Amino acid sequence: MSFINKISSKVENVIAGNRIKLPNRFTMESDFLNIGAVSIKPRANSQEEILYSLKAYAKDNAEIADFLEHLDEMDNKYLGLAHDIVDLSNCNEGLIGSINMLDKANENHSFMGHILSMLPIVSKKNPAALDLSQSVINNSDVINAKYFLINLFGFDLHKMSGLSEQFKAVKEVIPVIARDTLSGGYLMDYKKNKEFFEFVKFLASSDAKPENVKMLNEIMTVIQTLCKKTQPLCDLGSIKTANTATLKKNLEALPYYIENAEAQKQATVKVSDFLTKSAE
């Protein structure tokens, strides 16, 4: 018997009145909605606590109840992600353009139900996609997390295991992407959220070299630290497909290149050209 099944058996022996919903971790710390790149502490609940809570929610929601019927098909590592999806579905931001994950996604499911129904097979076929989703949830605001999940789970993620290494690489740079695309406050539309999603999709493409993508953390840190008056020009398309050894070597010299451009009061600095140029 699997761990989840053992827990399920225990829970079934508990009367319904003792099934307690966990506090919504996206609203429990503050009534004020943080927008943009945020940092949310990873869920610290035990799997047993999470399952008790989901069963409490399932009393009033058939889609959650249906999801629980398939727990033996899911890697139990992602039980916390499932609860995060439920929590997000119970967040009402009170803003124009707020996303309701309980709205109909298709004839059979709400957006929440559709995503939950996909978790078991994706957890086995393409777990990197779920790890990426968790990183987005933990490093961006509630609206962005909802927008990302709805759009990502619009794909056949279980058939995209060939991109698992790209998903893993992008997961590591989610905080950088969030800071770059989501800053500046709420615009009452999804323009920034779309930019964030397209950024992720662009970096997770089949032609992207995972090691190159991982270097974006250091590249962006150097740019943000040293570019004071000089405008950086950085083509991520050339970076994600560049020779990895060349990129790594030139990255070591990037601070000196930018500092020299700043000292000479250059209007722009061609970061990607410098990083991808091979030694003659």
Predicted TM-score (pTM) of the model is 0.89
DSSP β-bridge partners for residue 270 = 233
Neighbours of 8 (CB within 10 A): 18
Which residues of the chain form beta strands (DSSP E)?
Answer: 231-233, 268-270
Residues 6+ apart with CB under 8 A from 198: none
Q: What is the pLDDT along the chain (280 residues), one digit of tens a residue?
A: 454 554 444 444 433 445 799 999 988 544 456 788 888 889 999 999 999 999 999 999 999 999 999 999 999 999 999 999 999 999 987 677 789 999 999 989 999 999 999 999 999 999 999 999 999 999 999 999 999 999 999 999 999 999 999 999 999 999 999 998 998 777 678 899 999 999 999 999 999 999 999 999 999 999 999 999 999 999 999 999 999 999 999 999 999 999 999 999 999 999 999 999 986 5
What DSSP line would sit under 179-241, residue for residue?
HHHH-S---SSSHHHHHHHHHHHHHTSTT--HHHHHTHHHHHHHHHHH-SSSEEE--HHHHHH
Residues 200, 209: Cα–Cα separation, whole Å: 14
Residues 271, 251: Cα–Cα separation, whole Å: 10
Task: Give φ, ψ of 268 to 5 degrees.
Answer: -135, 160
Tell me, what's the pLDDT at 10?
Answer: 43
Q: Are strands 268-270 and 231-233 parallel, antiparallel or unpaired?
A: parallel
Residues 193, 97: Cα–Cα separation, whole Å: 12
